Structure 1
Amino acid sequence: MRPMLTILVILFLSAALPATAQSGDDGATLRVGGDSYAGGRNVMATDPVPGDLFAAGERVSLRAPVAGSAHMAGRIVDLGGQVDGNAYAAGYAVTVTASIGGSASLAGADLSVAAPVGGNLRATGSEIGITADIAGSALLAAGTLMLDASIGGDLVAAVEDLRFGPEARVAGAVTLYSDDPDGVSVPASVADPARVSIRELEEAAERTDLPAAMQEVGRRSLVAAIGGFAVGVLVVATCAAAAVAIAPQRVAAIRARALAHPFGCMLAGFVAMSALVGAVVVLAVTVIGLLLVPVALALLAAMIFAGYVAGSYILGVGLWRATGRPIPEATLHKAGLAVLGAAVAGLVALLPVLGWLAWVVLVFLGLGAVSAPVFARATALAPRD
C-alpha cells in the first residue's frame, strides 16, 4: 500500500509540474502553498515568494523579496533579495546584499554580510566580513574576521585574526577566544574595555565562566548521562517486547536469519541503507524530490532505529546462547535479552572509534535481518535466462 501511495504522489506531482513550475536552462522552480522550491545547476529566484524559499544548486541567487524564511545552499550563494523572516545559507562563498528581517545563520569559506540583519547573526567561515549593522547579537567563528558595522547586542567570537573598521561598534559584551590572546585587542571606540573579555581558545571548553546554575548542570551531567543511558535501554527493550508480542513468528525468523547468516545480513543492511541515502541525494537535486526529502529522511531515521532495536535483540540472544542456555519463551524474558543486548551495545559504543564502528555494524545487522526478505523477493522476480 505504501509503495503504491508513493508512486501516486510522484505521478501527481509530475503531472502538475508543467502548470506550476518555472524553469530556465539550468534550474526549475515549483510553488506549493506559497512556498517556493528551486533546484538546478544555476538557480536564480526572480519572482516574489509569499512563503518560504528552498533553493539548492551550484550557483544560487536570490533577486526577489521573500515574505517568509530563505533556505539556500550551493557553491556560490547570493542573498540579493529582501528576506522578511530568517535566512539560512551554506556554501563556499555566501554574500548577503539585501536586508534580513529576522536572524541569519551562515556557513562557508568566504562570508560577506553587506546588508542589515534585524535579528541575531550566527556565522562560521574561513573569512567573514561584516559591513552592515546587526540589530541583535553575533556568534561567530572565523579564521579572519573583519567588523566594520555596529552590533546591537553581544559579540562572541572565536578568531585567529580580528580587524576593526572605523564604523565598528558593539553595544553589549564582547567575548573573544583566540589561540593568541595577546595578539587580539579591541579598541575603546568599539566597546568599553570593561565589557571586553579575551581568553584563550581552550578556555571555551573549560566552562569556568558559566553562571552558578549552569555549573550545577555540569555537576549533574554524569547523573543525566546515566539516566539517558537507562532510558535508551528501556526504550529499546520496550520496542523489542512489543515486536515479539505482536509478531512472534516474524521476530523469530529475523532472529534465526541473523544468527545463521550474520555477514549476509550485514551486507543486506549496508545495501538497504546505501540505497535510501542515495535516494535522499537524488531527491535533493530534483525539484519534485525536494518535497519528498523530509519523508525520505524520516524513513531513514526509522530504518536506523529499527535496525538498532533488532540488532540489540539479536546481540542479546547471541550472548544468551553463548552461555549454553535455551532461548526463553516468555515475552518479558525475550525483552530482557533486548535489555542485555542494548546495554552491551551501549557500553561498547562508549569506546573511541571502535565503539562507533560496532554501533554501525549492529545497525546493519538488524536492518539486514529485517530487510533480507525484500531482497529475496526481488531476486525471485528477476528474469532468468
Structure 2
Amino acid sequence: MMRILLIVFTTFFATQVSAQDDTSSLFFGGDAFHAGRSVVHQNGGVDDLFMAGETVLGLSDITGTAHFAGREIVMEGVVQGDVYAAGEEITFQTDILGDATLVGRAVSVGNIGGDLRVAGSELDLNGDVGGYALIAGEKVTFNARVSGDVSIAAEELVWGDTASISGQLTLYEDEPGSLEVPEALAPAERITRRELEEWEGPERPSVLGALASFLAGVVVVAGIAALVAALVPDRLAEMRRQILARPFHTLWLGFLTQSTVIGTGFLLAITVIGLLLAPAVLVLALAGGLAGYVVAAYAFGVGLRLAFGKPEPDSLGERALAAGIGALSAGVIGLIPFLGWIFVLALALTGIGAITLRVIRPRFFSDTL
C-alpha cells in the first residue's frame, strides 16, 4: 500500500510539472527521474528508474529497480531489479529479473525472475516466474510457468496451454470448487480451495523485518522529497517557508482540507449513486496525506538545519540532506507510543495545508508569505 500511495503522490507532482513543461527529467547518482504528460526513457547506463505521467514508455534496459505510475505504462527494456507499477494499462514486453508488484486495470507480464504480486481487472500472465505468484483479479488468463507456490483470487480463470505450477496452488473462490483446474497442471493433493473471505494478508514481520521496513520508509520519503525538490524547487521552497513561518495556520487548513475530502467521500457513499466514487475519494485522501507528510518532513529537516545555524539549502545535495534529516527525525519521533502518532498526523496535516495554500490559495488565508 505504501508503494501504491507513493506512486500516486509522484503522479500528483508530475501533474504540477507538466503544467509548466511537457516533460522534466533528472539524472542523479546513476538514477533517472522522468515526469510529465508523455515520458520516454531511452538512456543507457541507468540504475534505478522513476517515471510518472499519462503515458510512460521505457525503451532501455536498467540495472536497478523501476517505479512507474501512469495511465498507460509500457516497458520494452529489461529490468534487472524489482518493479513497482500502478496504472490503467501495464505491459511488460521483456524480462523482469527481480520481483514485480503491479496494480492496474489491464496488466500483461512475461518472464519474472523473482516473485509476482499483481492485482487488477484483466490479468494476462505469460512466461516463467522464478518465485511465488500472488494474484487477485476479475478475469485472469494464466499461461505462466511458476516455480513456487501460487495463490489466486479470481472471478474467471482461464488456463493456458503452457501453464504449470511446481508448488502449492491455493484458490480463493466465492464457492469453493467453482474454478476448474486441469489435472495435468496440478494434482488434487497440491490444490487448496478456500472461501474468498479467507484471503490472508501478509504475516507479521519480524524485528529485523520491521527495522528494515522502517529504514526503507525513511529512504523512500527522503528520496521522493529530494526528487520533488529537484523538479519543482521553487514551489517546494514556498510550501516549506509557509510551514516554518506559520505552522499552526497550515495545520488548521490541512485539517479543514482533509476533513472536507473525507466528508465528501462519506456523502457520496450515502447517496448510493455516488458510491462508486467513494473509493476514489478515499485514495485521494490517502495520497494527500502521504504528499503532506513528505512536504512537511522536508520542511522539518530544513527547520532542524536552520536551528543549528545552517543556511537554507540552495543546492540539490543540501536539499537531499535536509530531506533525509527530516524523514529520519520524523520517523524516530513517530515510534513514540501515542504521541508519535499524533506528531505524524499533525505533520501530514501541516503539509496538506501548505499544498492547499500553494494550489488553491483560499481567500481567508490570503495574507500568506
Q: Would you call these one fold, judging by a TM-score over 0.5?
A: yes
Asked if 2 retains the 8 angstrom alpha-carbon contact of 1:104 and 1:122, the reply is: yes
Gaps of 5+ in 1: 1-24, 208-213, 218-223, 225-263, 282-287, 310-341, 350-358, 372-381
Partner of 1:133: 128
**Residue 169 in 1 paired to residue 151 in 2?**
no
Asked if 2 retains the 8 angstrom alpha-carbon contact of 1:303 and 1:367, the reply is: no
**Residue 94 in 1 paired to residue 90 in 2?**
yes
Q: Distance in 2 between matches of 1:92 and 1:294?
A: 35
Instruction: Determine what percentage of the aligned residue pairs are the same residue.
Output: 34
Of the candidates 233, 247, 251, which is equivalent to residue 269 of structure 1?
A: 251
Q: Distance in 2 between matches of 1:127 and 1:27?
A: 30
- Report the AA paired with residue 66 of structure 2: A
Q: Distance in 1 between matches of 2:179 and 2:162?
A: 18
Partner of 2:43: 47
Partner of 1:144: 139
- Report the AA paired with residue 49 of structure 1: G
**Residue 84 in 1 paired to residue 80 in 2?**
yes
1:302-381 equivalences in 2 (<5 Å): 363=346
Q: Distance in 2 between matches of 1:52 and 1:145?
A: 30
Q: Report the CA distance shift for 1:159/1:364 in structure 2 as closer, same or farther (over 3 A).
A: same
Q: Distance in 1 between matches of 2:184 and 2:253?
A: 60
Partner of 2:111: 116
Give me the TM-score of the superposition, normalised by structure 2.
Answer: 0.55
- Report the AA paired with residue 270 of structure 1: W
Q: Distance in 1 between matches of 2:127 and 2:86?
A: 19
Q: Report the CA distance shift for 1:367/1:35 in structure 2 as closer, same or farther (over 3 A).
A: closer
Give me the TM-score of the superposition, normalised by structure 1.
Answer: 0.53
Q: Report the CA distance shift for 1:140/1:293 in structure 2 as closer, same or farther (over 3 A).
A: farther
Q: Can you list the C-alpha shifts for 1:80-109, whole angstroms capped at 9, x where unaligned?
A: 111111111111111110111111111111
Asked if 1 retains the 8 angstrom alpha-carbon contact of 2:106 and 2:121, the reply is: yes
- Report the AA paired with residue 85 of structure 2: A
Report the secondary structure of 1:160's partner residue. Answer: strand
Q: How many residues align?
A: 247
Q: Report the CA distance shift for 1:265/1:365 in structure 2 as closer, same or farther (over 3 A).
A: farther
Q: Distance in 1 between matches of 2:22 and 2:103?
A: 25
TM-fit CA distance, 1:278: 5.9
TM-fit CA distance, 1:182: 2.7
TM-fit CA distance, 1:162: 1.2
Q: Report the CA distance shift for 1:308/1:202 in structure 2 as closer, same or farther (over 3 A).
A: closer
Q: Distance in 2 between matches of 1:156 and 1:58?
A: 31
Q: Distance in 1 between matches of 2:334 and 2:97?
A: 43
Of the candidates 25, 28, 31, which is equivalent to residue 24 of structure 2?
A: 28
Q: Distance in 2 between matches of 1:100 and 1:206?
A: 24
Q: Distance in 1 between matches of 2:70 and 2:113?
A: 24
Q: Report the CA distance shift for 1:155/1:117 in structure 2 as closer, same or farther (over 3 A).
A: same
Q: Report the CA distance shift for 1:296/1:159 in structure 2 as closer, same or farther (over 3 A).
A: farther
Q: Report the CA distance shift for 1:62/1:362 in structure 2 as closer, same or farther (over 3 A).
A: closer
Larger radius of gyration: 1
Q: Distance in 1 between matches of 2:321 and 2:157?
A: 39
Q: Distance in 2 between matches of 1:158 and 1:107?
A: 14
Q: Distance in 2 between matches of 1:97 and 1:294?
A: 37
**Residue 155 in 1 paired to residue 150 in 2?**
yes
Asked if 1 retains the 8 angstrom alpha-carbon contact of 2:334 and 2:344, the reply is: no
Q: Report the CA distance shift for 1:295/1:153 in structure 2 as closer, same or farther (over 3 A).
A: farther
- Report the AA paired with residue 36 of structure 1: A
Report the secondary structure of 1:202's partner residue. Answer: helix
Partner of 1:314: none
Q: Report the CA distance shift for 1:191/1:27 in structure 2 as closer, same or farther (over 3 A).
A: same
Q: Distance in 2 between matches of 1:72 and 1:194?
A: 39
Partner of 2:307: none
Partner of 1:70: 66
Instruction: Determine which structure has greater relative contact order: mean sequence separation of CA pairs < 8 Å that are 6+ residues apart, divided by chain length.
Output: 2
TM-fit CA distance, 1:272: 6.2
- Report the AA paired with residue 91 of structure 2: T
